[in-house]
Amino acid sequence: MRAEVFAVEDTSVQLTWRGGPGGRASITVDGIEAQVDTEPGPGAATIGGLRAGAEHQATVRCGGAPEVTLAFRTLDPPAGPVRSRVATISDLHLGQKSFGHRNKIVEQPRPTVNAGIRCARSALHAAAAWGADLIVVKGDLTNNGRQTEWRQAAELFAEIDVPVVVLPGNHDTGHHRTIEPWQAGERYGLHVVRRVEAIDLPGIRLVIAPTTIIGRSRGHIDHRRDDILAAAKGSPAALVVLHHHLELRPDPLIWPPGIPRAQAYDLLHALGEVQPASLVTSGHTHRHRRFEVGPVTVTQVGSTKDYPGAWAGYAIHDGGIRQLVRRVEDPSCLRWTDSTRRAVGGLWGHLSPGHLSARCFTRSWD
């Protein structure tokens, strides 16, 4: 059994494993013990009540597998209490039933409810249980922009008592769409962002900006630049939410292409001047990355429905923000997302997760 620390927060840790024998798993962290009933194969468990900013050791015992010991450090929280919580989910691709090159990775036998829907449901319920005040979908809610896919999304959102805001992605505005995103919003009662929107929560202003070009995969942000800067200026801090990632290289090395480098740097440098207390987060790549440009922190967060299958949370304090990325824990979802590791000739399991420090970290506004 191969186990790892996938996520840390100030007072919690998420442990995940592969190759588990199934049965009752016992997880102990600093004397805190949890018992989890597991199925053979991949598994996950979240343990809370830990000391913040401290070194810890976790022990995982499952069936007859050898005991696994993992060391980790919980995050140092920013100054002040938590003021609000925002969660994001990305690249749900509702309607898609396969993954990988030539769509060769499929569930067998075919399930009644496909993995994309199950993973989205698991992520939404986990984000709501975490305490999210608002959930933002960072694009590619649907796979082909079809009415049936939008209807499925509305049914999923109705299961939770948390407001959801939808930012369209390139799959929602592609050539195969049968309805425009904003029309789907009107028809199914969804909050779909059409222009730059600012949403104020305690301690933070969300700046949600569409970056899609109808019928194209690549994003564009020049036409949104001034509105983004105007929304961020004068806020206590800004969480800027995009679908397309900001490219920092002259030419993209890995598909898919995002927002061209010149536009990306122009926005980030200007944002750093008007609101240095900013974090910009996007989806689109299905990978997890983090970097800084001047005072601005930039992250990419992966898809709910392929490895590692995750959602993100942002806890806002007076003195900063914490990003948390957790895997969806539903056993059937874990089996599916683990099977997608073998995409790209087996490289996807290494390309997508990124480092723990890219997924979970504290950013102080000082």
Per residue in 55-66, pLDDT (tens digit) is 999 999 887 788
Q: What is the pLDDT of residues 334-356, one digit of tens each?
A: 999 999 999 998 999 999 999 99
pLDDT at 325: 98
Pair 305, 328: CB distance under 8 Å: no
Instruction: Quote the pLDDT of residue 271.
Output: 98
Identify the H or E element spanning 115.
helix 115-130
Can you give the pLDDT at residue 215?
Answer: 87
For the chain, domains (ranges, CATH) are 2-73 (2.60.40.10), 82-364 (3.60.21.10)
**Count of beta carbons in the 10 Å neighbourhood of residue 113:** 10
pTM of the model: 0.97
Amino acid identity, position 294 = G
Q: In what order do the strands lie in the sheet with 320-327?
A: 191-192, 164-166, 134-137, 82-89, 310-317, 320-327, 361-364
Mean pLDDT estimate for the chain? 95
What's the pLDDT at 33?
Answer: 86
Here the tokens at position 72 are 């980790």
pLDDT at 148: 97
Q: What is the model's pLDDT at position 251?
A: 76
For 275-297, write each residue's pLDDT tens digit.
999 999 999 999 999 999 999 99
Q: Extract the residue ranges of the chain whose pLDDT is less than 70.
A: none
Q: What percent of the chain has pLDDT over 90?
A: 85
